[in-house]
Amino acid sequence: MQQKMILPGAYIGVLGGGQLGSMFLNEARRMGYKIAVLDPDPNSPAGRIADKHIQAEYTDKKALAELSQLCAAITTEFENVPAETLHFLSAQIEVSPPPQAVAIAQDRILEKNFMCQNDLAVVPYAVIEKKQDIRLATEKITGKGILKLARFGYDGKGQILLSTVTEQSVYDAFVSLGEKPCVLEQQIVLDKEVSIVAACSKQGEIALYAIAENRHSDGILDYTQIPANVNIVIQQQIEEKATHLIRALQYHGVLAIEFFIDQEEQIYINEIAPRPHNSGHYTLDACVTSQFEQQIRTLCHLGLGDTTTLTPVVMVNLLGDLWHHSKAPDWQVLLAQGNVVLHLYGKEEARPGRKMGHFCCLGADPHLLISQAKDLKQKLVGVDNHQGGVTTI
């Protein structure tokens, strides 16, 4: 059944006030919506510029009731909102993405089980919930491994690389992660990492963006290039897997899926994010419809936007490592370029590894864009600013 459109002028609620929330807010505002942000942080990037900032914990029932009374629909900008919060809200108001999909995405154990139940390949893994599970896990996973916290990890946080999986090395890593439920993954040799962002309506329509090729450094996304350097067979397999996954999850909203491709061209799903994704930020500058506009469109039943990419693009993350003694990098390096778009998230404190902004290089020749992006990033790092941990592309 066609749902009634929620039109400009209405209040839309967002759980979380980070940069994804503020990019969503800017797009929603451009389209004439009003935005209420619920975030406990008084200085969150989206909270500061929202039409209404409800400063409260995500479990605060009074604040959630206030949000649902004000708004016509509610979405989330991060997956760690307690699943109970989304269930509580969805009893009263339109909520997208669906709470059961968020519950799966926020827990690596549920996520991997879900993939296996739906014949979607993931790298070999074993679940470790308590010390007694370690022995069995080390019988399954040998050689190089990664121990990952099942919940609340991001940007490679909550992960420990193991150069050799032994009972002792896993035990030590498990203890240092606080003895919380984990998955032990086989560390595979990656040929490529790619991701795909999808917009999914409540009626079951799906619009896929182009496949993005991602380079990570120290577990954090460094840069994304579009088009990805993948052949048509891989492209079709990824699109089929994405569509199958979305249907199996009964998903609506924006979903990002991260894939690993190994040297034998085997494709594995790494993880999913029930929201716009860092590797989809380029859509703001290079596509007919951005991933954030799709979030509004799917939430408000407007019909899906066109996902066409208008031009090749390279997106580079700007991490806090580039700020030396709190001094911002020399933005003139980027601003002097006519084909470069700069996005800064307005975060006050620059910490190593913290995502402070990104820039996009747009143009006809993908090879030139890559070398321009590398060159500009190198100039921002600068000689004086160089310090350990800065990622270079």
Is the CB of 186 or the CB of 224 nearer to ligand ATP? 186
Question: Of 195 and 289, which CB lies nearer to Mg ion in the complex structure?
Answer: 195
Instruction: Mark 94-133 with x for binding to ligand ATP (rule: CB under 6 A) and - for no binding.
Output: -----------------------------x----------
User: In the stretch 23-62, what mask flags binding to Mg ion with x, by CB under 5 A?
Assistant: ----------------------------------------
Binding region for ligand ATP (CB under 6 A) out of 165-173, 180-188, 245-253, 325-333: 180-188
Judged by CB under 6 A, the stretch of 217-225, 226-234, 299-307, 322-330 that binds ligand ATP is 217-225
Min CB(190)–ligand ATP separation in Å: 5
Q: Decide whether 94 or 213 has the Cβ nearer to ligand ATP.
A: 213
Q: Which stretch binds Mg ion (CB under 5 A): 14-22, 254-262, 334-342, 362-370?
A: 254-262
The CA dihedral of 312, 189, 186, 142, to the nearest 10 degrees, is 180
Residue 271 is a binding residue for ligand ATP (CB under 6 A): yes
Identify the residue among 15, 126, 211, 221 touching ligand ATP (CB under 6 A): 221
User: Can residue 80 be called a binding residue for ligand ATP (CB under 6 A)?
Assistant: no
Q: Look at residue 156 and give the partner it binds from ligand ATP, Mg ion, none, a contact being a CB closer than 5 to 8 Å depending on partner kind.
A: ligand ATP
Q: Which of Mg ion, ligand ATP, none has residue 41 at its interface (CB below 5 to 8 Å by kind)?
A: none
Can residue 154 be called a binding residue for ligand ATP (CB under 6 A)?
yes
Q: Are 64 and 40 in contact (CB under 8 A)?
A: no
Among 18, 153, 276, 305, binds ligand ATP (CB under 6 A): 153
Contacts of residue 191, Cβ cutoff 8 Å, sequence gap at least 6 = 261, 262, 263, 265
Q: Is 219 in the site for ligand ATP (CB under 6 A)?
A: yes
Rounded distance between C-alpha atoms, residue 108 and residue 149, angstroms: 8
Residue 150 lies near ligand ATP (rule: CB under 6 A): no
How many positions of this chain bind ligand ATP (CB under 6 A)? 21
Segment interacting with Mg ion, rule: CB under 5 A, options 27-35, 118-126, 172-180, 258-266: 258-266
Of 268, 109, 272, the residue nearest 189 (C-alpha): 268
The contact set with ligand ATP (CB under 6 A) reads 123, 146, 148, 153-157, 185-188, 190, 193, 216, 219-221, 258, 270-271
The contact set with Mg ion (CB under 5 A) reads 258
